[in-house]
Chains A and B, each alone.
Chain A
Amino acid sequence: MADFSGQLINLFAALLLLVSFAMLSQRRVLSLINLFALQGLLLSASTAIVAYSSHQHHLYYSAALTLVLKVIILPWILHRLIRKLNVKWDVETLFNIPTTMLVGIALVVFAFNLAAPISEMAGTITKSTLGIAMASVLLSFLMMITRSKAVPQVIGFLAMENGLFFAATSATYGMPMVVELGIALDVLIGMVILGIFFFQIRETFDSLDLKHMEKLKED
Chain B
Amino acid sequence: MEILWILAIPLIGGLLLALFGYQRFAPELNSVMSFGTFVASAFLTVRVITDGPMTALNEQFFVDSFNVFLVALTAFVAFTTSLFSRPYMRIEQAHGKLTINMLRLYHSMYQLFTFTMLVALLTNNLGIMWVAMEAATLTTVLLVSLYRTPASLEAAWKYFILCGVGIAQALFGTILLYFAAEKVLGAGGNALLWTHLDAVKAQLEPTVLSLAFVFLLVGYGTKVGLAPLHNWLPDAHAEGPTPVSAVLSGLLLNVALYAVVRSKVLVDGALGSHLAGNLMMGFGLLSVVMAAFFLSRQKDVKRMFAYSSIEHMGLMTFAFGMGGPVATFAGMLHMTVHSLTKSAIFFAVGHATQKSGTQLMENIRGLITTNPTIGWGLAIGSLAILGMPPFGVFASEFLIITTAMHAYPWTTPFLLAALGVAFAAIFSRVQSMVFGETSGERLPHPPALVPVFVHLGLVLLLGLYIPPYLADWYRQAAALIG
B160:A177 contact, CB within 8 angstroms: no
Query: Is residue A210 contacting chain B, with contact meaning CB distance below 8 A?
Result: yes
In chain A between 56 and 80, which residues have their CB closer than 8 angstroms to a CB of chain B? 56
> Contact check: which of A118, A121, A175, A200 meets B153 at CB < 8 Å?
A200
The secondary-structure label for the interface of chain A is: helix
A182:B131 contact, CB within 8 angstroms: yes
Number of interface residues of B (CB under 8 A): 48
Give A210 to B157 CA distance when docked, in angstroms. Answer: 9
Query: Is residue A194 contacting chain B, with contact meaning CB distance below 8 A?
Result: yes
A189:B150 contact, CB within 8 angstroms: no
Give A196 to B178 CA distance when docked, in angstroms. Answer: 34
> Which chain B positions have C-beta within 8 A of A84?
none
B192:A216 contact, CB within 8 angstroms: no
Give A84 to B249 CA distance when docked, in angstroms. Answer: 36
Q: Determine which residue in A117, A183, A205 has the highest number of CB atoms from chain B within 10 A of its CB, and name it.
A: A183
Take A176-B188, A216-B235 as given contacts and tell me if A204 and B150 are in contact as well, using a CB distance cutoff of 8 Å: yes
Distance between B136 CB and nearest chain A CB, rounded to angstroms:
10
Query: Is residue B184 contacting chain A, with contact meaning CB distance below 8 A?
Result: no
> Which chain A positions have C-beta within 8 A of B239?
216
A172:B172 contact, CB within 8 angstroms: no
Interface digits, B164-180 against A, CB 8 Å rule (1 contact, 0 not)? 11001001101110110
| Complex: chain A residue closest to B156, CB-CB | A197
Query: Is residue B356 contacting chain A, with contact meaning CB distance below 8 A?
Result: no
Give A190 to B171 CA distance when docked, in angstroms. Answer: 16
Query: Is residue A157 contacting chain B, with contact meaning CB distance below 8 A?
Result: yes
Query: Is residue A1 contacting chain B, with contact meaning CB distance below 8 A?
Result: no
> Contact check: which of A171, A182, A190 meets B128 at CB < 8 Å?
A182
Give A201 to B155 CA distance when docked, in angstroms. Answer: 11
> Contact check: which of A137, A164, A186, A193 meets B142 at CB < 8 Å?
A193
The secondary-structure label for the interface of chain B is: helix
B161:A160 contact, CB within 8 angstroms: no
| Complex: chain A residue closest to B307, CB-CB | A218
B127:A176 contact, CB within 8 angstroms: yes
> Contact check: which of B135, B154, B191, B297 meets A216 at CB < 8 Å?
B154
Give A32 to B178 CA distance when docked, in angstroms. Answer: 32
A164:B168 contact, CB within 8 angstroms: yes
B171:A201 contact, CB within 8 angstroms: no
Query: Is residue A12 contacting chain B, with contact meaning CB distance below 8 A?
Result: no
Give A150 to B211 CA distance when docked, in angstroms. Answer: 32
A164:B157 contact, CB within 8 angstroms: no
Give A160 to B161 CA distance when docked, in angstroms. Answer: 12
Query: Is residue A212 contacting chain B, with contact meaning CB distance below 8 A?
Result: yes
> Contact check: which of B158, B179, B189, B294 meets A178 at CB < 8 Å?
B189
Query: Is residue B81 contacting chain A, with contact meaning CB distance below 8 A?
Result: no
> Which chain B positions have C-beta within 8 A of A36?
none
A204:B179 contact, CB within 8 angstroms: no
| Complex: chain A residue closest to B157, CB-CB | A213
| Complex: chain B residue closest to A177, CB-CB | B189
| Interface CB pairs A-B, < 8 A, 19 | A118-B176, A137-B172, A164-B168, A173-B187, A176-B188, A179-B125, A179-B127, A186-B135, A190-B138, A194-B160, A196-B142, A197-B156, A197-B160, A201-B153, A203-B148, A205-B153, A214-B154, A215-B154, A216-B239
Sample of 9 more A-B contacts, CB < 8 Å, known A190-B134, A215-B150, A216-B239: A114-B211, A137-B168, A168-B178, A172-B179, A179-B128, A182-B128, A194-B160, A197-B153, A218-B297
* A residues lining the B interface (CB < 8 Å): 56, 114, 117-118, 121-123, 137, 141, 144, 150, 153, 157, 160-161, 164, 167-168, 171-173, 175-179, 182-183, 185-186, 189-190, 193-194, 196-197, 200-201, 203-205, 210, 212-216, 218-219
